[in-house]
Amino acid sequence: MGSVQSFETPKSRGGRPGKIDASLNKKLSEVKWGEFRIGDLFEIRPTKSYGLTNAKLFATAGDTPVVTNTSINNGISGRIALPPIEKGGIVTYSDTTTSDAIFYQSEDFIGYSHVQGLYPRQNIWSGSRLLYFVAAFKKAAANRFDYGNKFNRAITTEMYVTLPATINSEIDFEFIDGFIAELEAQRIAELEAQRIAELEAHLTVTGLKDYILTEEEHNALDGYDDWEWKTFNLEDLFGKSTRGKRLKRADRIPGELPFVTAGEADEGISDFIGNNVTIFSENTTTIDMFGSAKYRNYRYGGDDHVAIVHTEVLPKLASIFVTSAIHKSSHNGQFDYSKNFYAKDADTLNIQLPSRDGHPDYDCMATFISAVQKIVIKEVVQYADRKIDAVKDIIK
């Protein structure tokens, strides 16, 4: 396979690569190590390029990666419409910069001037093995090359990298495969732990962590069939609705304010803008041109196809209930492209709400929505708890 100069453990070399868990560190401390000449493992030659100027090369965007001398983004400076002329499954590096520009290329790509390719001499190098080699290659080349001290092919050919080795002085691919697989499993477990922790934090902050129904919530659910309902006019309840203002897409400035238009995708949010527009309050309800009502618990802007009902005077959970009642009344097919829903239609809209003594029973509505939320979120919370416990066991 290659020339082995010596065997050493990571302890004798004075360090271990990366931040990894105890079991992997133990494996690294027990493995045998050998020095392998890069020229024995790979043929090194310039990658194929189109020989175009940057202006012509990057003129048309596409899917094919162009690997250049950059030390970020896996060496990829852009993706273009030209077909690839290099096969993936090799290692690339720049002979004009530092070891930071050493990368494994998994995709077919287009090369570039001064980008060298390491082409395996034997068909035994999988993607995970090449990733392991890249780490060893970077370590061997660290702090040796820059713009004044070129990282040329002759030097690279004679360089040695430290890799796990068998007693027969071969690269220990069995160890590398197992090590990478375990490292990947650890990474996945940590990502899963992070996602579950974020879910748990969200549930706690939003008050949804508690899914045990109170006696009042039980009563609200059990007594639903006995509620007294009454018809109410929206304008009588919340005053005149407000119409948004047209803002053409070409005039929108990127920013952080959600901009609500008509449609169901992304809850009708078409953009995030920085324009100076009317900002509507959180805890309000929007009705779009098709009569679709949505509750908004954040500040936002709206275009002229959106009517804003000012439910901000209500407790949050009562507003959610009212939004459902509005949607039930306004979204029955009576509004479409030929007949749009406008703010004036909201003012004449009548909705059915639970009542007490002739007035809307907002306390009843809030309690009912709280109960429904708990029922819906219960399995999510229990799932999160189970996953957190499982991930903790894996990490241990």
d(CA 143, CA 146): 8
Confidence of residue 24 (pLDDT cuts 50, 70, 90): low
Q: For 183-188, what is the mean pLDDT? A: 80
Confidence of residue 88 (pLDDT cuts 50, 70, 90): very high
Whole-number pLDDT of residue 386: 77
- Beta strands at 254-260 and 284-288: parallel, antiparallel or unpaired: unpaired
Q: Which residues of 238-271 are buried (b: 16+ CB within 10 A; e: fewer)?
A: beebbbbeebeeeebeeeebbbbbbeeeeebbbb
Whole-number pLDDT of residue 1: 45
Topology agreement, domain 10-171 and domain 228-360:
yes
d(CA 74, CA 76): 5
Cβ atoms within 10 A of the Cβ of 116, count? 21
Strand order of the β-sheet with 242-243 is: 242-243, 306-309, 284-288, 293-296
pLDDT tens digits along 118-177? 999 999 999 999 999 999 999 999 888 777 778 889 999 999 999 999 988 899 999 999
Whole-number pLDDT of residue 151: 87
Cα–Cα nearest to 167, from 27, 380, 4: 4
Question: Which of 42-46, 135-139, 332-336 bottoms out in mean pLDDT, i.e. has the lowest?
Answer: 332-336
Domain boundaries, the chain: 10-171, 228-360
Where does 10-171 sit in CATH, by number? 3.90.220.20
With a cut of 50, say whether residue 304 has pLDDT above it. yes
Whole-number pLDDT of residue 380: 79
Q: For 198-213, what is the mean pLDDT? A: 77
d(CA 8, CA 168): 15
Whole-number pLDDT of residue 371: 93
d(CA 330, CA 336): 11
With a cut of 90, say whether residue 12 has pLDDT above it. no
Mean pLDDT of the chain: 87
Whole-number pLDDT of residue 394: 56
d(CA 321, CA 295): 9
Whole-number pLDDT of residue 302: 95
Read off the amino acid at residue 194: Q
Name the more confident of 336 and 38.
38
Whole-number pLDDT of residue 21: 59
pLDDT tens digits along 352-366? 999 999 999 999 999
Confidence of residue 255 (pLDDT cuts 50, 70, 90): very high
CA dihedral sign of residues 135, 391, 376, 237: negative
Read off the amino acid at residue 72: I
Residues paired with 286 in a beta bridge: 294, 308
With a cut of 70, say whether residue 376 has pLDDT above it. yes
pLDDT tens digits along 208-235? 777 888 999 999 999 999 999 999 999 9
Could you give the C-alpha distances from 249 to 261, 272, 276, in angstroms and in order? Answer: 11, 11, 14
With a cut of 50, say whether residue 15 has pLDDT above it. no
Question: Which of 103-117, 174-188, 283-297, 308-322 bottoms out in mean pLDDT, i.e. has the lowest?
Answer: 174-188
What architecture does CATH give domain 228-360? Answer: Alpha-Beta Complex (3.90)
350 phi/psi in degrees, rounded to 5: -110, 140
Q: pLDDT > 90: what percent of the chain?
A: 69
Confidence of residue 383 (pLDDT cuts 50, 70, 90): confident
With a cut of 50, say whether residue 14 has pLDDT above it. no
Confidence of residue 22 (pLDDT cuts 50, 70, 90): low
Confidence of residue 346 (pLDDT cuts 50, 70, 90): very high
d(CA 78, CA 95): 20
Confidence of residue 202 (pLDDT cuts 50, 70, 90): confident
Burial (0-12, 13-18, 19+ Cβ within 10 Å), 13: exposed
Read off the amino acid at residue 340: N
d(CA 387, CA 55): 51
Name the more confident of 44 and 28.
44
